[in-house]
Structure 1
Amino acid sequence: MLVLLPPSEGKASPGEGAPLELESLSLPGLTAARRAVLAELVELCAGDPGQNDKAREVLGLSEGLRGEVAKNAGLHTAAARPAGEIYTGVLYDALGLATLDAAAKRRAAGSLLVFSGLWGAVRVTDRIPSYRCSMGVRLPGLGALGAYWRTPMAEVLPAAAGDGLVLDLRSSAYAAAWKPKGEVAGRTATVRVLHAPTRKVVSHFNKATKGRMVRSLLTAGAAPKDPAGLVEALRELGYVVEAQAPGKAGKAWSLDVLVEEIH
């Protein structure tokens, strides 16, 4: 099972440690593209104060987040930590990687893939520095990152998906970087979280539910081979799931997870 996750906007400070080793990251087929994005991002953020204003505009940062520009400028030498420790926020709080037992942590290392505007995609065990660069950013030289990543992702991700289930929990901005196609799409499941009484999509609780759902699968050692098996596994874990199989080949399954309360 391969689980595709969005990153978090907020990121933990890695503290002290060795800097990034770009060649050590998983999915080495993305190294050249990562190097190009990293170089342009650092150059954009390393200018004088006037240039920093431009960098904030490009990155979509408020005045209060000016420090994120300086953080990006120092990415080559900044301390790096496992991505699972860097990404924070609602989904990752609910997932609770640090509190998983040893077996579940091994499953997480092998199955979770976090998409990123800067790195393309990384495993939770990959060591990265804290940064700020969403997939929606349009860098002056490379253009829109969602479009930029499509070609290298298309070359690398099908092999990473293997021949098993792909559970796609990404937001739309990150889904733009790679769309499973062909037979990979047929074993892909996307998930919405709906408020059961109103049938409306929920936002904050959407992330929390997805985090808990992944944690449940990892803790239980569930290993569904396809979307139908995922539906069965989630129902056994107590989730209320409605599934819609694709009407034709080459399309993903759509799963709705129903929740009674929003908190």
Structure 2
Amino acid sequence: MLILLPPSEGKAAGGDGGPVNVTALAAPKLAPVRKRVLTAVTRTARGDAAVAAEALKLPPAVADEALAANRAAATSPTLPALDRYTGVVYAALDPATLSPVGRAAAEESVLVFSGLFGVVAGGDRVPAYRVPVASVLPELGALTPVWRAALREVLPVLVGKGFAVDLRSTDYAGMWAPTGPLRHQVLPVRLLTKRPSGPPRVVSYPSKHGKGLLARELVERAGKGAAAGSVDDVGEAAAALGWDVEVRYAQGSVPALDVIMPPWVPVS
């Protein structure tokens, strides 16, 4: 089982590992592209700050810190990806409190899509950086087509004959789309929120939070020897969290899963 996740823009600082080794990350065949992207990012970050911030789609409030991290990305200390990413998805996944078997399953089964590295496994060591896949770099152009071309052959090998739960956001789903038989092996899952009126819909924060909780449930089950291998298994995991599930079918009887969560009540 694989769980496909987006990265988070928020990342923990520091690290206790040496500089990133792009060949040691998941899918080592991506190393040449990773080196090109990493070089282009660091050069961009070392240039004119305004040009770099625009190219990397950096909000003004975080631009200085993000550019500093990107300038040092090739040489700065590393952390496991599960510990590096700190956004809403990963806060809900809460890797620090996973059981030992759940953590081991997460390190192997979580596959994070990344604007800087293409894909990394949960246990792969990565530096602090901020490189949205929507970035358009002076040396390389738009990153999405760069990674789409590179991942076209790599992802089918990673998925193999197994099963994957796709919890990516739209930008990162654009990096790779399963084709042929893989469409039956990669299950897209939407996290929807009930509303007082009208049908459930995707609401950004609760959807991200729900993805993290569902990923946590799936890796804990995998750690106990019950890795998801079908839409029914994922539906069972969602139902265990108290959520409703609905299966949809696209052309060719390809399944997709809608997970419907209770109305979101913001914490004051």
TM-score, normalised relative to structure 2: 0.91
Shift of 1:16: 5.0
Mapped contact 1:195–1:202 kept (Cα < 8 A): yes
> Could you say which residue in structure 2 is the equivalent of 1:116?
114
Q: What CA deviation, in whole Å up to 9, does each residue of 1:217-259 have, x standing for no partner?
A: 222333222223322443355331111133316x4x2211111
Provide the rounded CA distance (Å) in 2 between the counterparts of 1:220 and 1:24: 27
Mapped contact 1:188–1:227 kept (Cα < 8 A): no
> Could you say which residue in structure 1 is the equivalent of 2:163?
165
**Percentage of pairs with the same residue:** 39
Which segments of structure 1 move beyond 3 Å, counting only runs of 4 or more? none
Q: How does 1:60-209 map to 2 (within 5 A)?
A: 60-65=57-62, 66-197=64-195, 198=198, 199-209=200-210
> Could you say which residue in structure 2 is the equivalent of 1:2?
2
194-203 or 70-79, which deviates more: 194-203
Provide the rounded CA distance (Å) in 2 between the counterparts of 1:172 and 1:200: 15
Mapped contact 1:150–1:178 kept (Cα < 8 A): yes
112-121 or 184-193, which deviates more: 184-193
Q: What CA deviation, in whole Å up to 9, does each residue of 1:15-48 have, x standing for no partner?
A: 454221222112101111100000000111113x
Q: What CA deviation, in whole Å up to 9, does each residue of 1:160-187 have, x standing for no partner?
A: 1121221111111101110011111112
Letter in 2 for 1:38: L
For 1:22, what is the secondary structure of its paired residue?
A: coil
Distance verdict in 2 for CA 1:235–1:261, change over 3 Å: same
Mapped contact 1:235–1:241 kept (Cα < 8 A): yes
Mapped contact 2:191–2:260 kept (Cα < 8 A): yes
Letter in 1 for 2:59: S
> Could you say which residue in structure 1 is the equivalent of 2:51?
54
Mapped contact 1:19–1:78 kept (Cα < 8 A): yes
Shift of 1:112: 0.5
For 1:62, what is the secondary structure of its paired residue?
A: coil
Q: What CA deviation, in whole Å up to 9, does each residue of 1:81-103 have, x standing for no partner?
A: 11111101111000011111111
For 2:10, what is the secondary structure of its paired residue?
A: coil
Instruction: Point out where structure 2 has 5 or more consecutive residues left out of the alignment.
Output: none
Mapped contact 2:193–2:206 kept (Cα < 8 A): no
Provide the rounded CA distance (Å) in 2 between the counterparts of 1:20 and 1:226: 35
214-223 or 87-96, which deviates more: 214-223
Letter in 2 for 1:246: A
Instruction: Point out where structure 1 has 5 or more consecutive residues left out of the alignment.
Output: none
138-147 or 62-71, which deviates more: 62-71
Q: How does 1:18-29 map to 2 (within 5 A)?
A: 18-29=18-29
Mapped contact 1:188–1:226 kept (Cα < 8 A): no
> Could you say which residue in structure 2 is the equivalent of 1:244?
248
Letter in 2 for 1:204: Y
Mapped contact 1:166–1:188 kept (Cα < 8 A): yes
> Could you say which residue in structure 2 is the equivalent of 1:42?
42
For 1:20, what is the secondary structure of its paired residue?
A: coil
> Could you say which residue in structure 2 is the equivalent of 1:254?
256
Distance verdict in 2 for CA 1:236–1:94, change over 3 Å: closer
Letter in 2 for 1:77: T
Letter in 2 for 1:231: G
Mapped contact 1:192–1:257 kept (Cα < 8 A): yes
TM-score, normalised relative to structure 1: 0.92
Distance verdict in 2 for CA 1:62–1:233, change over 3 Å: closer
Q: What CA deviation, in whole Å up to 9, does each residue of 1:142-200 have, x standing for no partner?
A: 11111111121011111111212211111111011100111111122112222224422
Mapped contact 2:187–2:231 kept (Cα < 8 A): yes
Provide the rounded CA distance (Å) in 2 between the counterparts of 1:162 and 1:105: 23
Provide the rounded CA distance (Å) in 1 between the counterparts of 2:51 and 2:173: 27
Provide the rounded CA distance (Å) in 1 between the counterparts of 2:233 and 2:16: 43
Provide the rounded CA distance (Å) in 2 between the counterparts of 1:35 and 1:247: 38
Letter in 1 for 2:125: R
